[in-house]
Amino acid sequence: MRYWLFKSEPDTWSWTDQVAKGDAGEEWNGVRNYQARNFMREMKLGDLGFFYHSQKDKALVGIVTICAESHPDSTTDDPRWDCVDVKAVAPLPKPVTLDQVKNDPRLAEMALVKQSRLSVQPVTADEWQILCDLAGYEVS
């Protein structure tokens, strides 16, 4: 089991949109970055990820799980681009802001801080636990 982080502009695709899709989930398409694509290719069914709102919110707002492993991105004919499907698992009781992440020395190595433009990124098990604690989310 691995952990990930997905970034989205809420104006384009928000947590609310994701929740509306329910258990059917939705393609995490539109990624045109090799690093991000490569991470998606590593994802396995049942892996968990945070859903991050960039721009206005700048906060982790929910938890998603991988419900389909890497497959061609339906929004392009270009065979280079693959994506996974994700579905909402639960909202975070207390969204964790970018400020909180930046100000926590335990989270200083996160790509969210160091590589602000990377839209799909891995999260370590330690970071996952710390972030769940900050969010008031009980890991079951």
**What is the x/- site pattern for DNA, positions 52-91, by CB under 7 A?**
--xx--x---------------------------------
Q: Is 9 in the site for DNA (CB under 7 A)?
A: yes
> Could you give phi then psi for residue 48, rounded to 5 degrees?
-110, 155
Q: Is 33 in the site for DNA (CB under 7 A)?
A: yes
Of 1 and 105, which CB lies nearer to DNA in the complex structure? 105
Q: Is 119 in the site for DNA (CB under 7 A)?
A: yes
Q: Is 109 in the site for DNA (CB under 7 A)?
A: no
> Could you give phi then psi for residue 114, rounded to 5 degrees?
-80, -30
Q: In angstroms, give the least distance from the CB of 115 to DNA.
A: 6
Give the chain's radius of gyration (CA, Å): 14
Of 56 and 138, which CB lies nearer to DNA in the complex structure? 56
